[in-house]
């Protein structure tokens, strides 16, 4: 009953996208009820727990905050997370649950990892199984996987309230939004997913690493006999579930979701893929539901999907097409019933090309830095798609919360541009878009490219930056460009040939991640505050409707044009040059 090979990738992609889009609506509406404090089963059953949280920490849930108080609360909370992750790494050799007696993490790496996890980037300069103790993974990384995701959701909800509120100062209570995100959304979903992942073979154990006697012993580096293999363990499934649901992406193990203990089967791969896009897609409906017009949310979701599908197609074709160099060596790269074929360097046999390309495109679209194949070994155009999706600003689904607030910024920009064309004061969802709003939106759209391009330019000039490059030629430039794209847009995946774990990159990428996160979140909260204070303008026949196919295409075009114009010169020096070299070498 195997389907013909040719159809399999298309059917897999269709089933996957359909599953995401179908589950987005109910989950999105559920989340809207949660944030609005309306009854939705779980928040009735767990109400006493929620109330205990507020009593214990002195939160008055009925009291709203203006945007500045909201921003201050968010920054305080994120600073605590940063300090915690940093401290745990620096002290892990004195703390319990360090079963493998790992030493303390050096300060620059600890700094990088702390920002990486607080900012929902999850860039990995650490190598999980050889760097971090079980305690650091649990109390540091797992916690930040939840809290950084919840932070993104709170900022988004505040922005949505800005549109909903009328002549108000307040945009909600940060502590309430945060608590509800964790209690009613992230934790229940993670529990279910973690359980399924364990059933597939993802490890979940506090035992020290296991040992196996090798069937065929081998000679080590210095000629010594090696007859045992280390089998790493740890509380992995619990962390991996939230790593995907929260669009975090930081691996429990060094190679992330390519590791057989982190992603053992095609089913675990599908479940994780679903988890990656689930909440970002569903939040579109949360947005629609809260502004009282589901079509508004659906329009943003469709604009995202419109960009996603062609990207997937190009990436898949580039990888399945294989490497012309392999062709010259007489290797069989054809796809047939017995082998996936294509460019299999840096890919796992169980995932082949289809699941690898799906994963690469979904994770780079969604600011989820996890990988199940090595992007550095992708064909130039395959790698280009991954890099460019990140550079679009992580708004194609994007991170939980952050993806949609980025897309809302683009929608405001699109409305503004349309307004300029017809000469009317632009309005979005009944709120007049004026100079202040456009200033904030410009910050949100311009800061990441500045971080990316400036960081890349400086790094390819400085010896400290150049010496980390692995691959020669344009591909080496791509490694650096990818690193800053990933850090500046809080994605977290890498062209991992770049030696990121050195002082220069730990600091430079750490700073890029920090500003890429908070310099966007704060202007957005300011935008929310300004919108909340405005009156709602009644709809008139001249109002631009923002749910129609025309607007959806227009919005997608604005995202694509901004992304293409900003990054084309840099991409031309990297993947595009490399692609042309291939054409030259095989002509």
Per the listing, tokens 């990738």 go with 9
Three-class secondary structure of residue 282 per DSSP: helix
Under the binding rule (CB under 8 A), the answer on residue 105 touching another protein is no
Binds another protein (CB under 8 A): choice among 233, 362, 400, 544: 233
Q: Which residue number, 251 or 430, has a Cβ lying nearer to another protein?
A: 251
Does residue 316 belong to the site contacting another protein (CB under 8 A)? Answer: no
Q: Of 249, 142, 313, 149, which is closest to residue 486 (Cα–Cα)?
A: 249
Q: Which of residues 265-294 bind another protein (CB under 8 A)?
A: 265-267, 269-270
Phi, psi values for residue 155, rounded to 5°:
-65, -40
Q: Is 44 in the site for another protein (CB under 8 A)?
A: no
Residue choice 235, 430, 448, 449 for contact with another protein (CB under 8 A): 235
**Structure tokens given for 62:** 């009925």
Q: How far is the CB of 351 from another protein (least distance, A)?
A: 6
Contact status, residue 460 vs residue 440, Cβ threshold 8 Å: no
Asked if 340 interacts with another protein (CB under 8 A), we say yes
Contact present, 490 and 399 (Cβ < 8 Å) = yes
Total residues binding another protein (CB under 8 A): 136
Say whether residue 106 binds another protein (CB under 8 A). no
Which one, 148 or 296, has the nearer CB to another protein?
148
Six-digit token pair at 457?
């330019």
How far is the C-alpha of 189 from the C-alpha of 242, rounded, in Å?
8
Beta carbons of 128 and 251 less than 8 angstroms apart: yes
Range in contact with another protein (rule: CB under 8 A) among 212-220, 388-396, 416-424, 546-554: 212-220
**Sign of CA pseudo-dihedral 559, 560, 561, 567:** positive
Mutual angle of helices 294-320 and 354-365, in 10-degree steps:
140
DSSP 3-state of 10: helix
- Across 160-195, b (16+ Cβ under 10 Å) vs e yields bbbbbbeebebbbbbbbbbbbbbbbbbbebbeebbe
Phi, psi (rounded to 5 degrees) for 379: -65, 155
In the complex, least distance from residue 382 CB atom to another protein, rounded to whole angstroms: 9
Interface residue with another protein, options 132, 198, 284, 508 (CB under 8 A): 198
420 in contact with another protein (CB under 8 A): no
Take residue 582 and report the two structure tokens written for it: 């291939």
The least CB distance from residue 163 to another protein, in Å, is 25
Among 33, 153, 155, 190, binds another protein (CB under 8 A): 190
Taking CB under 8 A as the rule, does residue 125 contact another protein?
Answer: no
**At closest approach, how far in Å is the CB of 550 from another protein?**
36
Contacts of 22 (CB under 8 A, 6+ apart): none
Instruction: Give least dist CB 206 to another protein, A.
Output: 6
Site map 363..392 versus another protein, x via CB under 8 A: --------xxxx-xxxxx------------
Name every residue whose Cβ is closer than 8 Å to that of residue 42 and which is 6 or more positions away in sequence.
34, 184, 188
Give the nearest distance from C-beta 30 to another protein in angstroms. 20
Contact 86, 108 (CB under 8 A): no
> What is the closest distance, in whole angstroms, from the C-beta atom of residue 109 to another protein in the complex?
16
Binding mask 48-67 for another protein (x = CB under 8 A): -----x--xxxx--------
Question: Among 460, 485, 457, 301, which residue's Cα sits nearest to residue 384?
Answer: 485
Smallest distance, Å, CB 271 to another protein? 10
Q: Which of residues 561-580 bind another protein (CB under 8 A)?
A: 578
- 116: contact with another protein by CB under 8 A: no
Binders in 427-466 for another protein, by CB under 8 A: none
Nearer to another protein, 23 or 204 (CB): 204
CB of 414 to another protein, least distance (A): 36
Distance CA 101, CA 204 (A): 19
Minimal distance, residue 533 CB to another protein, in Å: 20
DSSP state string for 392-428: TTSTTTTSTTHHHHHHHHHHHHHHHHHHHHHTS--EE
Within a 10 A sphere around the Cβ of 211, how many other Cβ atoms? 10
Residue 582 makes contact with another protein by CB under 8 A: yes
Among 121, 142, 368, 493, binds another protein (CB under 8 A): 142
CA distance 218 to 216: 6
Positions in 151-170 near another protein (CB under 8 A): none
**β-strand pairing of 210-219 with 427-428:** unpaired
Among 187, 261, 257, 493, smallest CA distance to 365 is for: 493
The minimum distance between CB 123 and another protein, in angstroms, equals: 15
Q: How far is the CB of 79 from another protein (least distance, A)?
A: 8
| Residue 469 interacting with another protein (CB under 8 A) | no
Reported as type and span, the H/E element at residue 229 is strand 225-231
Q: Name residues contacting another protein, limited to 343-362 (CB under 8 A).
A: 343-352, 354-355
Min. distance of Cβ 40 from another protein in angstroms?
20
Residues 517-536 that bind another protein (CB under 8 A): none
Nearer to another protein, 53 or 67 (CB): 53
Binding to another protein, residues 490-519 (CB under 8 A): 495-497
């Amino acid at each position: 009953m195997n389907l013909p090979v040719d159809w399999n990738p298309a059917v897999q992609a269709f089933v996957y996208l359909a599953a995401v889009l179908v589950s987005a609506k109910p989950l999105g509406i559920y989340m809207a009820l949660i944030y609005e404090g309306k009854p939705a089963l779980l928040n009735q059953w767990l109400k006493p727990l929620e109330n205990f949280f507020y009593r214990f920490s002195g939160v008055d849930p009925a009291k709203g905050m203006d945007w500045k108080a909201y921003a201050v609360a968010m920054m305080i909370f994120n600073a605590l997370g940063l300090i915690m992750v940093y401290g745990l790494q620096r002290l892990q050799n004195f703390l319990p649950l360090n079963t493998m007696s790992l030493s303390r993490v050096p300060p620059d790496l600890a700094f990088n990892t702390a920002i990486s996890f607080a900012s929902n980037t999850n860039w990995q300069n650490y190598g999980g199984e050889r760097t971090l103790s079980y305690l650091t993974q649990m109390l540091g990384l797992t916690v930040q996987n939840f809290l950084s995701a919840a932070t993104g959701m709170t900022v988004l909800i505040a922005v949505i309230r800005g549109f909903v509120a009328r002549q108000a100062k307040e945009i909600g209570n940060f502590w309430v939004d945060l608590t509800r995100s964790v209690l009613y959304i992230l934790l229940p979903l993670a529990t279910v997913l973690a359980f399924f992942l364990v059933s597939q073979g993802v490890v979940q154990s506090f035992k020290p690493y296991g040992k196996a006697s090798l069937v065929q012993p081998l000679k080590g580096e210095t000629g010594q006999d090696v007859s045992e293999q280390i089998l790493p363990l740890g509380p992995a499934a619990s962390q991996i579930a939230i790593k995907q649901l929260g669009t975090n992406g930081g691996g429990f193990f060094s190679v992330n979701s390519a590791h057989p203990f982190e992603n053992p089967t095609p089913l675990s791969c599908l479940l994780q893929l679903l988890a990656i896009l689930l909440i970002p897609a569903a939040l579109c409906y949360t947005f629609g539901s809260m502004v009282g017009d589901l079509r508004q949310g659906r329009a943003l979701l469709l604009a995202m999907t419109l960009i996603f599908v062609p990207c997937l197609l190009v990436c898949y074709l580039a990888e399945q097409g294989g490497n012309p160099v392999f062709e010259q060596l007489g290797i069989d790269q054809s796809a047939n019933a017995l082998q996936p074929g294509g460019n299999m360097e840096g890919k796992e046999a169980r995932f082949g090309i289809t699941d690898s390309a799906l994963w690469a495109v979904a994770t780079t679209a969604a600011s989820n830095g996890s990988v199940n194949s090595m992007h550095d070994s992708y064909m130039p155009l395959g790698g280009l798609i991954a890099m460019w999706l990140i550079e679009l600003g992580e708004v194609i689904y994007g991170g939980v919360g952050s993806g949609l607030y980025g897309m809302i910024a683009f929608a405001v920009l699109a409305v503004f541009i349309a307004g300029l064309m017809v000469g009317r004061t632009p309005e979005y969802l009944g709120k007049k878009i004026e100079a202040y709003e456009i200033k904030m939106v410009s910050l949100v759209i311009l800061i990441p490219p500045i971080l990316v391009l400036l960081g890349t330019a400086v790094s390819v000039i400085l010896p400290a930056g150049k010496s980390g490059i692995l691959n020669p030629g344009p591909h080496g430039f791509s490694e650096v460009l990818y690193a800053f794209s990933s850090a500046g847009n809080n994605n977290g995946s890498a062209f991992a040939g770049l030696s990121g774990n050195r002082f220069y990159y730990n600091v430079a990428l750490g700073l890029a991640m920090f500003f890429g996160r908070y310099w966007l979140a704060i202007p957005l909260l300011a935008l929310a505050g300004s919108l909340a204070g405005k009156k709602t303008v009644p709809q008139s026949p001249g109002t631009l409707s923002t749910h129609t196919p025309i607007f959806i295409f227009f919005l997608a075009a604005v995202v694509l044009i901004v992304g293409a114009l900003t990054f084309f010169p840099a991409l031309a020096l990297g993947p595009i040059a490399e692609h042309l070299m291939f054409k030259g070498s095989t002509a």
